Amino acid sequence: MSESLQTTDVTWSNTQYPTVPTVTDSPFIKLQKDYRKLHGYISCIVCIFGLSSNIINMIVLTRKHMIKPVNFILTALAGADFLTMLTYLVYAAYFYIAKEPIWQANHTYAWMCFIMIHNHFIIICHNMSLWFTVYLAVLRYKFVCNNTFGYREYSLKRTIITVTIISNVILVLCIPNFFMYKVIALSDIVDPNVSGYWIVDSDFVKKHIFYKVSIFWFFGVVMKILPCILLTFFICRIIHTMYRSEKQREQLQEQARLSTHGRHRDNIRTTRMLIAVVLICVLTEMPQGIFALISCLDDRFFEDIYSNIGDILDLLVLFNSSVNFILYCSMSRQYRDTFRKLFSFRTAHCHNQLRQINHTR
């Protein structure tokens, strides 16, 4: 299911058994047909890399000397991203590779239940990831804009409490999604001789049309655009403050600059890395929010464009969930050093075990 469309994905929300798409000259429909054949393989590769890299992130960031407020947020972010891709890997492998095309497969009741669980699960995890990123930007903004304030007020305990609150709030906000859909036998809506199951709007949604519209607005627009606006604001403020700080440092005496030169460079590298994390999040999330907003105002846009690029938007979400490992390795010396020490230690440990085994022989 297209997570980018949140709970209103056209593939599964139809109340009738879908048929093979009508041949048309629309470039977006053609794009959807051509890319759909590749989406399963590409997304599976991204998911496998993302699952592995986020496990590494959690291992590295939870080392004793790495436990800091910002790193705890990055650990929570890695956990949310890991869970986001966990069920998507199964979903992509089955519905895009094993059972392509989807509309011609007689799916079992169990797989339709999996789809519903997957959809709710991925919405919860992805929204947690998004708001963890907002919290990360807020924390770095506090540090950059008031260096004397720093992380002292943002202790590890306070960070853990805040992350827990964000997780619980997102979970509560996502409860209305649980009432959106139900699984139904195709024999009840198509033909008694047709086997298989499908997902349709729940009876509650059919009786309350506005409920589904409200869910779409809240998760498709508000929960996408609002955090992106906040992230953009904090990025601009951080960059502006860094630029102004550099100008002020250039006016200081040479001796004063050199006394904190190494520490200052570490702070700059950390800030740039976090800016990159936040910026990629904005670039992958903002288009979805804008498209969803236009779709709310123009039904034709939803049918002609948005519904045909859902797979591509899903890939952007997966990319955002898997790229942080590359950013950490390329922009954080402390992360690289910790990763290198862990890897070299495990490699040396394995070699020692092999030597002992060979020696006993």
pLDDT single digits (tens) 311-332: 999 999 999 999 999 999 888 8
Task: Give the pLDDT score at 6.
Answer: 40
Task: Give the pLDDT score at 3.
Answer: 40
Task: Give the pLDDT score at 86.
Answer: 92
Handedness of CA 76, 77, 82, 88 (dihedral sign): positive
Alpha helix ranges (H) inside the chain? 10-13, 27-61, 69-92, 109-145, 156-173, 186-189, 203-207, 209-215, 223-250, 254-259, 261-297, 299-304, 310-322, 324-331, 333-360
- Listed as ranges, residues in the chain with pLDDT below 70 are 1-25, 101-105, 146-154, 248-266, 345-361
Task: Give the pLDDT score at 5.
Answer: 35
CB 85 within 8 A of CB 321: yes
Any idea which fold 3-342 has? Answer: Rhopdopsin 7-helix transmembrane proteins (1.20.1070)
Task: Give the pLDDT score at 267.
Answer: 72
CB 199 within 8 A of CB 116: yes
Cα–Cα–Cα angle for 299, 288, 318, rounded to 5 degrees: 135
Among 223, 216, 62, 66, residue whose Cα is nearest residue 134: 223
Task: Give the pLDDT score at 271.
Answer: 83
Task: Give the pLDDT score at 357.
Answer: 45
Cα–Cα–Cα angle for 257, 258, 259, rounded to 5 degrees: 95
CB 160 within 8 A of CB 72: yes
Task: Give the pLDDT score at 189.
Answer: 77
Query: Cis (ω within 30 of 0) for the bond into 101?
Result: yes
pTM: 0.83
Q: Which residues contact 71 (CB under 8 A, 6 or more apart)?
A: 61
Task: Give the pLDDT score at 162.
Answer: 94
Distance CA 50, CA 319 (A): 8
How is residue 199 written in tokens?
């997902």
Distance CA 284, CA 338 (A): 29
